[in-house]
Amino acid sequence: MSLKRQLLVASLLMLLIPWAGLQFVLELDAALREQAVQQLHSQADRLARSAAGQVPATDSDSVLYAAPLQRTLNIDGYSDDWPGYDDTETAATPTAGSISWQQAVDDDALYLFLRVSVTNPRYYDPGQPEQPYEHLVLFWQDGDRRHQRLIRTPAPGPVVGWRPGRTPAPDYRITGFWQATGQGYQLELKLPRPADNGRFGFEVRRPAPVSTPGQAPDHKAVVAIAGPSLGAPTLPRLVTRLPGLERILERALLPGQQARVVAPDGWLLAHSTVPAPNNRPEFDTMSPLEIVEQISLNGLRALVRYFQPEPLIMPDTVTRMDRDRLTGEGIVRHGEGPVSLMVVTSLADGHRLVLEQSLEQLLALSGNTLGSVIARSTLLIIGLMLVLLGYASWLSWRITRLQRAVRASVDNDGRIVAAMPTTAARDELGELSRQFSQMVDNLQGYTRYLESFARRLSHELKTPVAVVRSSLENLSQDDRPEHQATYIQRAHQATDRLSQILQGMSEAARLEQSFDHAEKERFDLATVAAQAAEAYQALAPNHRIRYVGPPAGRLLTGSPELMVQLLDKLVDNARDFTPEQGAIEIDLASAPAGLVLSVFNEGSTLPDHLASEIFSPFVSLREGNDQGHLGQGLLIVRLIAEHHGGKVQAANHPVRQGVWFQIWLPTP
């Protein structure tokens, strides 16, 4: 599996954190809802005790419900300004036969609207008052006294109420408008408002159809009844919302709550609401981060609602509620409004109190506070996951680029064909790239070294091997003893030369192997150099060998034996190029990063093009190759210097005539 996929899997595991947070929120939401139900039951009981004296007494008789008006009606015979207006002329209110009606109240008036479907309605004829006609009879009751008014008209237009009797009298407290329609007529009335929970009813009367030819029509036929006739014992009760009860409920509600008092048959007697405060900031004032956080919080709320029980859908605006749904407790939604938690408690005479609490307010406890934290954490984790994926892609791209660079620097035969590109990155991959680059450079140098080594070794071995071969051939063809002795001597010299070559090669190899076992110690390089210089002078009286550095105090961590061997090779090389009585000086100086050990010898100068090659094997500037100098001495110098973490350099002295060797050695 690639690194990118591994990091992707690791990133996906981070999603367990918001999942665990979601489980916690769901459990917390269920606990809050259960606790809220208990609190709502306690609050509903308190509200029931407060509203006990305001709930009207009821009986089993029928009722007429009048919705409260929010604005004054225009009495014109049309229903376009009534609550729940429907211009299709299809009744949205209770109907009886071909009649539909609707009631409404304001502070001191009762409004009644009727729609009668009839073909060719017969209006009141003042010249023939005994003839049947379309009319409306109103009933209401004050205490034990029952009142009756008659609504009739000779033609569509304004109407008033009439007191019945032999001499009818108008009652101008009752006014209205009779409007003819294509399907019949509409009647809109305004009359004094009866007492709350008082008795009120009406009857729509019209001529009865004639069943027998010659029979006179009967104007007492009743086609719609919203109240019994005068002979009935009781009238329907006029039920409407009670402002005093609503004020009592409103004072006891909390933000985001609403309470309803419902009559035994489902009619709404009171409805109070305390809206929840809108704490959400305006969109224009929100920063991009707040917008993203709000979107995440809304998503969290939607997710919590998704796992909640399915709410019971109720009408948005209701005047009568289904009693079968008002049982116990549950989650409800009115139309497209917010989801609420509902509890129902019983009142006197079969009334019920319905208390609802918006779940958004409950969710605010776990949503706006903890939910905001979870939303931020989710956004943070998603952001971190994206950053991690981007970082993984970036790492993968860097590794792929490093892989391509390594592949491009080596051909199929394993030869170094190009250098690796440099990088300035300071992390582990940058360091790895630099190590690869250094390794490639070292391999390239080592490859060149091996190629030159093979070439130089072949050159060094070619001459003694040729001498041995020619001597043996001549020896086999020449019988003269003196000549054979010469050939044998030449073969011995060539084999000695081969032995010296192999001995020099093995010396360098043994030196490199000894590095693994050499123990480093703290020693004074100045003392070692001074003592070595005295020994060299005693062994080479024909040269002036001296130490010109400080006598002591130049500490170095390394192998003193190897440093003496380094000086041996440098001084031995200097003696070969220094004339008799010439000076060979060993010096030791301090440098910013360590020590500088130098060896100067008077004599011939060093060709510039060979300054860096003399530390390679089989490179020698001596005249003649019969002295056993194989060019391995300075190679050993370079190996010892590199073992101590230093480097060696050869150059012509800038002031004096001669060659100057410098070895930089770092000190801790």
The answer to whether 193 and 181 have CB atoms below 8 angstroms apart is no
The answer to whether 365 and 48 have CB atoms below 8 angstroms apart is no
- Which of the two residues, 84 and 528, has the higher pLDDT score? 528
pTM over 0.85: no
H or E segment to which residue 665 belongs: strand 658-666
The rounded mean pLDDT for the chain is 79
Confidence of residue 624 (pLDDT cuts 50, 70, 90): very low
Question: Bridge-partner residues for 179, per DSSP?
Answer: 186
pLDDT in tens, 586-615: 999 988 888 999 999 998 888 765 655 676
- For residue 70, the model assigns a pLDDT of 83
- For residue 198, the model assigns a pLDDT of 84
201 backbone dihedrals φ, ψ, rounded to 5°: -165, 175
Would you call 579 helix, strand, or coil by DSSP? coil
Q: How many CB atoms lie within 10 A of CB 320?
A: 16
Rounded to an integer, the average pLDDT of 48-75 is 81
Confidence of residue 626 (pLDDT cuts 50, 70, 90): very low
- For residue 95, the model assigns a pLDDT of 45
pLDDT in tens, 528-544: 999 989 888 888 888 99
C-alpha closest to that of 533 among 462, 437, 476, 601: 601
Contacts of 300 (CB under 8 A, 6+ apart): 22, 25, 367, 371, 374, 375, 378
pLDDT at residue 520 tops 80: yes
The answer to whether 597 and 588 have CB atoms below 8 angstroms apart is yes
- For residue 60, the model assigns a pLDDT of 52
H or E segment to which residue 88 belongs: none
Q: Which two tokens stand for residue 598?
A: 């130098």
